[in-house]
């Protein structure tokens, strides 16, 4: 976390050219006098160490700086956009983990059958596709050709039904994407675990195939997937950003896209900081969950 | 046995696919029907003169597709090479010397592992102004951590073997031992990681150029999808514009990743046989 803050602090100061010019952007006209005034206001005329301390202080108060393009504090803009993205990405991550674990467990249980081979190949293909391209395919097929789903936005009128109808397609794309990655790991994990002694013992006890899988193997085999889900959180989240751009959803993704086009650096940095914070939180949650699932970790024996 | 045959045949298919893409990257001017700067009527549908139609600028899409292979493969392999280099260096040092150095390096690796890559790359690329060199540097510098971890754990095993012990007794310097005794024995775990890193870098490159953060002077596949998306090709359902580059990205990444997976699984079986 400290590293991330440091990167965020260092980047604009390492940039070629005048940081104030970068902050304001190229489309604004300023006189040298105004420039000096802004520089004094932001505190760029002070020594670097003082700047760093005041930067940290601002962060602790939840102040992420000021976006000169959207004329508002970065924290406020981000906060209003983020809730939608979190809703959309969160649903997909949870669904993707569940589908990935179950489908991966089934295809790892009998890896030679034609169906599980087909599922594995499909998962590999999906995980090798850039998320935005997958989203475009879905959009072109389901929304343009079949007209089943609306092509853009979160809702027409703010009712639960309308939101679900609008979000179904993007969530489906992202879920597919997350599930395919989890599936591959889960499959490998089950293939390994099913040769272990306790699986053999469960069979000797008289349990049938699927019972062994779901009662005994699933819990152990899903441990690596939980780590993956946490580490992948940032990756899936960035996938969500691209999918938002394709579906014209008014969330973080479109915000970042516009910020790139407008070269709105404070906003970009704020967005990065928030995403990094989310990822770190996700990893902490995963560690706790790991402890709950695996008593060996809980007792600190490993 | 049947599984092994299937593995071999998919591997061969992936190799062939990759070879096609490599040819496209190596000799674009021989294959492409038009040069990269030749213009004709914009927004043409596929026809006998332009097999895949033309873009909003009047460029032939098939030719653009063929020229685009170069940048994708170049960025993919070059940044994976860089990542593998850093990963090898960090992993070897940490695994061979152990102790405090190991702890520091691995803590650093964990930090890199947790940083969300694509948002950071977006910021860096936005700040640093796009360019192929920058892209390779950034992608390479951010994707070495899994390689470093694998190399470290493998090095920890290899350094306890007899031949490394005897080399140390004979007084060879650490660098020499690493280069001539350890690296040859861990290269087989690095190779699949290298292929997977290449695949990941190619996807990242495609994503970045979709955001308009790629090299503006070269039309990569991601940039083609992007321009089809932003300049009206997608809304008008000009599938011949956005579908081929997207499929090319997928197939190219898939072929590289499949070769990587095949290495990994082949590795798994030999270990079991031993």
Asked whether residue A15 carries a pLDDT value surpassing 50, the answer given is no
**In Å, how far is B94's CA from the nearest CA of chain A?**
20
Inside any domain, residue B181: yes
Rounded to 5 degrees, φ, ψ at A135 are -65, -40
Name beta bridge partners: A67: A72
- Asked if the structure places residue B165 within a domain, the reply is yes
- Chain-centroid distance of CA A55 in Å reads 26
**Cβ–Cβ gap A260/B124 under 8 Å:** no
| Chain B residues inside the 8 Å CB shell of A275 | 116, 119
Q: Residues A231-272: pLDDT tens digits?
A: 777 777 788 888 888 887 777 878 888 777 776 666 777 777
Task: Tell me the nearest-neighbour CA distance from A133 into chain B, angstroms.
Answer: 6
**pLDDT at residue A12 is higher than 60:** no
The pLDDT tens digits of the residues spanning B131-167 come to 788 888 888 888 888 889 889 888 888 888 888 888 8
B83 within domain boundaries: yes
Is residue B54's pLDDT more than 50? yes
Model-level ipTM above the cut of 0.85: no
Q: What's the mean pLDDT in B32-44?
A: 68
> Domain for residue B180, yes or no?
yes
Instruction: Give a yes or no: residue B210 inside a domain.
Output: yes
Chain B hits for A128, Cβ within 8 Å: 199, 203, 250, 253-254, 257
As a whole-number percent, the residues of chain A with pLDDT over 70 amount to 63
Asked whether the predicted pLDDT for residue A14 surpasses 50, the reply is no
Q: Residue B82 above 90 pLDDT?
A: yes
Q: Are B36 and B69 in contact (CB under 8 A)?
A: no
Q: In sequence order, what are the residues at sequence separation of 6 or more whose Cβ sits closer than 8 angstroms to the Cβ of residue A69? A: A25, A259, A262, A264, A267
Structure tokens at A102: 């179950």
pLDDT, residue B132, reads: 80
H or E segment to which residue A66 belongs: strand A66-67
Domain containing residue B75: CATH number: 1.10.3720.10
Q: Is B201 contained in some domain? A: yes
Q: How many domains does chain B have?
A: 1
Residue A25 has pLDDT above 50, yes or no: no
Q: What is the pLDDT of residue B79?
A: 92
A146 class by beta-carbon count within 10 Å (0-12 exposed, 13-18 middle, 19+ buried): exposed
pLDDT-wise least confident of A136-145, A169-178, A241-250, A290-299: A290-299
Q: Report the C-alpha dihedral over residues B209, B215, B220, B226, rounded to 10 degrees.
A: 40
Question: What span, in angstroms and rounded, lies between the C-alpha atoms of A146 and B73?
Answer: 36
Which range has highest mean pLDDT (A208-212, A289-293, B256-260)? B256-260
Question: Which phi and psi angles does A159 have, rounded to 5°?
Answer: -125, 160
Q: Please, which pLDDT band fits residue B78 given cuts at 50, 70 and 90?
A: very high
Which whole number is the average pLDDT over A71-80?
70
pLDDT digits (tens, 9 = 90+) for B87-130: 999 999 998 888 888 888 888 887 777 777 777 777 777 777 66
For residue A64, pLDDT over 80 is answered with no
Q: How confident is the model at residue A299 (pLDDT cuts 50, 70, 90)?
A: low
Is B47 inside a domain boundary?
A: no
Residue B193 counted as domain residue: yes
For residue A233, list chain B residues with Cβ-Cβ distance below 8 A. 116
Q: Does A235 contact B117 at a Cβ distance shorter than 8 Å?
A: yes
Helix (H, G, I), strand (E, B) or coil at A67: strand
Which pair of structure tokens corresponds to residue B74? 């170049």
pLDDT at A170 > cutoff 60 = yes
Among A211-215, B71-75, B182-186, name the one with the lowest average pLDDT.
Answer: A211-215
Q: Which residues sit opposite B54 in a β-bridge?
A: B60
A chain contacts of residue B222, beta-carbon cutoff 8 Å: 130
Structural domains in chain A, CATH included, are 2-73 (no CATH), 75-298 (1.10.3720.10)
Q: Which domain holds residue B94?
A: 2-31+58-265
The residues, any chain, with a CB within 8 Å of residue B83's CB and separated by 6 or more, are B139, B140, B141, B142, B143, B144, B147, B197, B201
**Does the structure show a pLDDT above 80 at A204?**
no
State yes or no: pLDDT of A219 exceeds 90.
no
Give the Cα separation of A149 and A144 in Å (integer).
8
Contact B242, B210 (CB under 8 A): no
B152 token code pair: 């470290």
């Amino acid at each position: 976390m400290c590293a991330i803050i440091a990167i965020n602090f260092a980047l604009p100061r390492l940039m070629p050219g005048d940081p104030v010019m970068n902050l304001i952007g190229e489309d604004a006209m300023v006189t040298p006098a105004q420039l000096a005034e802004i520089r004094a206001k932001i505190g760029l005329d002070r020594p670097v160490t003082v700047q760093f301390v005041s930067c940290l202080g601002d962060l602790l108060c939840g102040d992420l700086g000021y976006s000169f393009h959207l004329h508002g504090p970065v924290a406020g803009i981000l906060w209003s956009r983020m809730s939608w993205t979190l809703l959309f990405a969160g649903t997909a991550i949870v669904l993707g983990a569940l589908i990935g674990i179950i489908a991966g467990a089934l295809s790892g249980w009998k890896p030679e059958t034609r169906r599980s081979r087909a599922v594995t190949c499909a998962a590999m293909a999906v995980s090798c596709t850039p998320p935005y391209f997958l989203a475009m395919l879905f959009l072109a097929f389901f929304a343009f050709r079949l007209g089943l789903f609306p092509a853009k936005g979160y809702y027409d009128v703010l009712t639960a039904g309308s939101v679900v109808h609008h979000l179904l397609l993007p969530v489906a794309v992202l879920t597919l994407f997350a599930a395919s990655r989890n599936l591959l790991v889960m499959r490998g994990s089950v293939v390994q675990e099913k040769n272990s002694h306790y699986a053999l013992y469960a069979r000797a006890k008289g349990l049938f195939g699927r019972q062994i899988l779901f009662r005994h193997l699933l819990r152990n085999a899903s441990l690596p997937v939980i780590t993956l889900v946490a580490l992948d959180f940032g990756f899936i989240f960035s996938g969500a950003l691209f999918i938002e751009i394709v579906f014209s959803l008014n969330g973080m993704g479109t915000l970042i896209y516009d910020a790139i086009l407008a070269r709105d650096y404070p906003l970009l940095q704020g967005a990065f900081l928030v995403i990094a914070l989310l990822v770190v939180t996700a990893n902490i949650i995963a560690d706790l969950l790991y402890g709950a699932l695996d008593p060996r970790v809980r007792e600190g024996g490993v | 046995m049947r599984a092994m045959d299937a593995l071999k045949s998919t591997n061969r298919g992936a190799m062939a696919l990759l070879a096609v893409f490599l040819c496209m990257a190596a000799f674009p001017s021989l294959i492409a029907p038009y040069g990269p700067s030749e213009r004709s009527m914009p927004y043409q549908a596929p026809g006998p003169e332009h097999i895949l139609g033309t873009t909003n600028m009047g460029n032939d899409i098939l030719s653009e597709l063929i020229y685009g292979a170069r940048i994708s493969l170049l960025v993919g392999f070059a940044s994976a090479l860089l990542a593998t280099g850093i990963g090898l260096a960090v992993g070897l040092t940490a695994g061979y010397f152990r102790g405090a150095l190991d702890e520091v390096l691995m803590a650093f690796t964990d930090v890199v592992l947790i940083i969300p890559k694509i948002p950071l790359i977006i910021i860096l690329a936005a700040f640093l102004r796009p360019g192929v060199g920058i892209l390779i540097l950034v992608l390479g510098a951010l994707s070495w951590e899994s390689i470093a971890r694998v190399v470290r754990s493998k090095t920890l095993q290899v350094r306890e073997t007899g031949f490394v012990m005897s080399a140390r007794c004979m007084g060879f310097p650490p660098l020499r031992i690493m280069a001539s005794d350890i690296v040859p024995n861990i290269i087989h775990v690095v190779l699949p990681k290298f292929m997977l890193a290449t695949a990941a870098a190619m996807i990242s490159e495609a994503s970045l150029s979709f955001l308009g953060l790629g090299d503006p002077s070269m039309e990569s596949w991601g940039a083609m999808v992007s321009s089809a998306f932003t300049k009206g090709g997608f809304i008008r359902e000009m599938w011949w514009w956005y579908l081929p580059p997207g499929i090319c990205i997928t197939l190219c990444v898939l072929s590289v990743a499949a070769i990587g997976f095949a290495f990994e699984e082949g590795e798994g079986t030999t270990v079991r046989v031993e």
